[in-house]
A and B are shown apart, each in its own frame.
Chain A
Amino acid sequence: MTKDEALALYRSMLLIRRFEERCAQVYVEGKIGGFLHLYIGQEAIAVGAMSLLRPDDYFLGSYRDHGYALARGTDPRPLMAELWGRASGISRGKGGSMHFYDVPSGNFGGDGIVGGHLPIAAGMGYAIRLRNTDQVVVCFFGDGAVNEGAFHEALNVSALWGLPVVYVIENNRYGMGTSLDRASSVKDLYQRGSAYGIPRRDVDGMDLLTVRGALAEAIDRARREKSPTLLEVETYRYRGHSMSDPGKYRTKEEVEEMMRHDPILRFASVLGEQHRVAPAELEAIDKDVQDQVAESVRFAEESPWPSAEELYQDVYVRSPYIHAKAAEKDPAWRAAEAQDRVPERFPAWTQQAAPAKVES
């Protein structure tokens, strides 16, 4: 890994951290609503995975989904605008925090149903096999999802049919407020892979390079051997399950202990030792990231609200197989468009000038 590549990974983790710190702040200020599940502490997983995926690969995650989009390189501006519920949001203000989708980048988003996206990941893997391409699917979910029936059904068929899907358990030790010890009969979650006879391993999720190594192996196996893998990546969320969760089920000492293993601090020391990166360089990156986040907030605040017509748009795809007589009477059918909508793109962030909006 070159110094520039390493710095890009560092910047990506820091962008997730600073973006979400700002999310927490504006949530408390009442500027955004709904649920807000923060990824802070888990950044190495999304960043490690996205650094390995090809542009034509697919991925899906749970509702704690900000990190995947940011790590994939989706512009923070439409993401922040989504939290604001604005028309310029990545999902046009219809999804919110749990539903960041960016299909042109292979991002099939955040799913609000625990385990609900695992069978869908298997379906994407099935499509890859049927079309005989060498794409892969990476599916992220929490330790809570392994107790859902969907986990079992998806892993069984993935193994049975040889689907190129990497299943990544982000084990942050708690399914909302219930500790893993109280939810899973087997504590080493990767061992559940043995039930399906698939490759499986346990990974330190607080170390970016370890995560990358394990994912590289699993992604390569999916691509070449058409085999699923189950990875248990051990991590920790510093914040509560969501903003309404004070986290009383765990001790202050436990949280502080885990924060000592912070993935961003750990990678900073790697940068210093192996790439001779000076502290001032890291500070400059931090400054730039914070400016970028501030710009995303400005963008969100200044963006227009969705129009009234937007309420009925995107329920259906306009179709020549639906008779006009029935379609014309239903506002959702009247508003249906034949094409998929593509998120708006904006010029890349540069520190010097906050860019203006351009046509995509």
Chain B
Amino acid sequence: MPVISMREALNSAMREEMRRDPSVFLLGEEVAEYQGAYKITQGLFQEFGEWRVRDTPIAEEVIAGVAVGAAFVGLRPIAEMMTFNFSLLALDQIVNHAAKYRYMSGGQIRCPMVMRGPSGAAAQVAAQHSQAFESWFAHIPGLVVVMPSTPKDAKGLLKSAIRDDNPVIFMENEVLYNLKGEVPEAEFTIPLGLGEVKRAGNDVTIVAWSRSVQYALQAAELLAKDGVEAEIVDPRTLRPLDEDVIFDSVRKTNRCVVVEEGWRYAGFGAEIADRVQRECFDALDAPVIRVTAADVPMPYSKILEKAFLPQPEKVIEAVRQVLYR
């Protein structure tokens, strides 16, 4: 199986879907002539031309709004946010329009669009460019929220997101763009709303998505040296959520740690902790512990940035807590 980067996986997902379906088009800042701020859209402009790969002004509300309007009349737009930090300027289009028009119209309208781009912390880009907003989008009925952690998942999930008839928020991670992994050469999709066990183990369940899977994997390797086998469960899609893959693991390990890059306060991990304590109460041997970002804006300084983010050591500490060791 070929080994490619997440960047290449995302690019090939879009290329294949644009070849497959002429109603798919891409718009965003620097997606065409510049070839993408993070080169995710490399070569697409040359292949598909300006009406299907559209450079936009720096105007996030109209990027999202054009996607919403085109989707309402049957196209399948992919709106790239250079980063999800800027999606706050487009939030009204997503929350009040993309997510609600089907409901408000009594089922007359659908919005088959994807908004995608990197989310979460990068490296020393400080408070306005290092935010994990998945909790915000996952809160909204009408949206689908996807956060891949591997190149294979990125490709299979993005293809499903493009074909799906609902508005999909597809949150990537800049730090993962160079992550390499095996991706099948043949055509494939991965269903939205299906989680996956990324590492099997019997001693503790670690729920993580996107970059947090990396923190969990690193922690698991270190824990293994001490004889603790962690099971890492990646829901991959936060809305709808594959509860079963989480519950099945917790019922086996009896312990659960949730790792997320977002802030603790009202973060998505709280949703998982809530569901686990209700559905797996009898199986739990310890409270569910959350490893999150610090509840402060992201600082610039390297040393403070490290302190802000969930680190493998913090995951190990949380695992020891639930194991009472």
Interface residues of A (CB under 8 A from B): 58, 89-95, 99, 101-103, 108-109, 111-113, 116-131, 149-150, 153-154, 156-157, 160-161, 313-317, 319, 321-323, 325-327, 329-330, 332-333, 337, 340-343
A91→B72 contact, CB < 8 A: no
Q: Shortest 10 CB-CB distances between A and B: which pairs?
A: A119-B65, A123-B69, A92-B106, A326-B193, A341-B107, A153-B62, A120-B69, A326-B240, A101-B105, A323-B191
Residue among B54, B57, B73, B141 with the highest chain A CB neighbour number at 10 A? B73
B107→A116 contact, CB < 8 A: no
B69→A121 contact, CB < 8 A: yes
> Is B33 at the interface (CB under 8 A from chain A)?
no
Apart from A153-B62, A322-B193, list 20 A-B contacts with CB within 8 A: A89-B106, A91-B108, A108-B101, A109-B101, A109-B105, A119-B61, A119-B65, A119-B69, A122-B66, A123-B66, A126-B69, A127-B70, A153-B59, A160-B57, A161-B54, A321-B161, A321-B163, A326-B194, A326-B241, A326-B243
Question: Given A120-B68, A130-B75, A329-B243 in contact, is the A322-B62 Cβ separation under 8 Å?
Answer: no
B243→A340 contact, CB < 8 A: no
22 A-B residue pairs with Cβ-Cβ distance under 8 Å, sorted by A, are: A91-B105, A92-B107, A94-B106, A95-B104, A101-B101, A108-B109, A123-B67, A123-B72, A130-B75, A150-B62, A154-B65, A314-B107, A315-B141, A317-B112, A317-B165, A321-B163, A323-B191, A323-B194, A323-B242, A326-B194, A326-B243, A342-B108
Residues of chain B contacted by A103 (CB below 8 angstroms): 105, 108-109
A14 to chain B, nearest CB (A): 27
Residues of chain A contacted by B59 (CB below 8 angstroms): 153, 156-157
Residues of chain A contacted by B164 (CB below 8 angstroms): 319, 321-322
Could you say which of B25, B71, B105, B144 contacts A322, with CB atoms under 8 Å apart? B144
Question: Given A315-B141, A341-B106 in contact, is the A124-B240 Cβ separation under 8 Å?
Answer: no
A340→B144 contact, CB < 8 A: no
Residues of chain A contacted by B73 (CB below 8 angstroms): 58, 124, 127-128
B57→A319 contact, CB < 8 A: no
CA distance A149 to B90 in the complex (A): 11
Residues of chain A contacted by B54 (CB below 8 angstroms): 126, 161
CA distance A315 to B164 in the complex (A): 14
B69→A122 contact, CB < 8 A: yes
Q: Which residue of the partner chain B has the closest CB to A58?
A: B73
Interface residues of B (CB under 8 A from A): 25, 51-52, 54, 56-57, 59, 61-62, 64-75, 77, 92-93, 96-97, 101-110, 112, 141-142, 144, 160-161, 163-166, 189, 191-194, 237, 240-244
A126→B106 contact, CB < 8 A: no
A119→B62 contact, CB < 8 A: yes
CA distance A143 to B155 in the complex (A): 45
CA distance A156 to B101 in the complex (A): 25
B72→A150 contact, CB < 8 A: no
CA distance A102 to B67 in the complex (A): 21
Question: Given A94-B103, A317-B102 in contact, is the A157-B240 Cβ separation under 8 Å?
Answer: no
CA distance A121 to B73 in the complex (A): 11
Q: Which residue of the partner chain B has the closest CB to A337?
A: B107
Q: Which residue of the partner chain A has the closest CB to B237?
A: A326
Residues of chain A contacted by B57 (CB below 8 angstroms): 153, 156-157, 160
CA distance A126 to B51 in the complex (A): 9
CA distance A95 to B72 in the complex (A): 17
Residue among A99, A156, A322 with the highest chain B CB neighbour number at 10 A? A322
Residue among B66, B69, B103 with the highest chain A CB neighbour number at 10 A? B69
B52→A130 contact, CB < 8 A: yes
CA distance A51 to B249 in the complex (A): 63
CA distance A322 to B145 in the complex (A): 11
A345 to chain B, nearest CB (A): 13
B34 to chain A, nearest CB (A): 17
Residues of chain B contacted by A326 (CB below 8 angstroms): 192-194, 237, 240-243
CA distance A237 to B163 in the complex (A): 45
Question: Given A121-B69, A130-B25, A323-B191 in contact, is the A313-B107 Cβ separation under 8 Å?
Answer: yes
Residue among B70, B112, B189, B192 with the highest chain A CB neighbour number at 10 A? B70
Question: Given A119-B65, A322-B164, A326-B243 in contact, is the A157-B56 Cβ separation under 8 Å?
Answer: yes
Question: Given A113-B96, A316-B166, A326-B194 in contact, is the A127-B74 Cβ separation under 8 Å?
Answer: yes
Residue among B56, B66, B141, B241 with the highest chain A CB neighbour number at 10 A? B66
CA distance A314 to B108 in the complex (A): 8
B261 to chain A, nearest CB (A): 22
A95 to chain B, nearest CB (A): 5
A149 to chain B, nearest CB (A): 6
Residues of chain A contacted by B69 (CB below 8 angstroms): 119-127
A201 to chain B, nearest CB (A): 24
B26 to chain A, nearest CB (A): 11
A150→B61 contact, CB < 8 A: yes
CA distance A101 to B192 in the complex (A): 30
CA distance A247 to B102 in the complex (A): 34
B102→A101 contact, CB < 8 A: no
A123→B103 contact, CB < 8 A: no
Residues of chain B contacted by A121 (CB below 8 angstroms): 69
B52→A101 contact, CB < 8 A: no
CA distance A24 to B221 in the complex (A): 69
Residues of chain A contacted by B237 (CB below 8 angstroms): 326
CA distance A330 to B237 in the complex (A): 14
CA distance A250 to B144 in the complex (A): 47
A108→B72 contact, CB < 8 A: yes
A157→B72 contact, CB < 8 A: no
Residues of chain B contacted by A120 (CB below 8 angstroms): 65, 68-69, 72, 93, 97
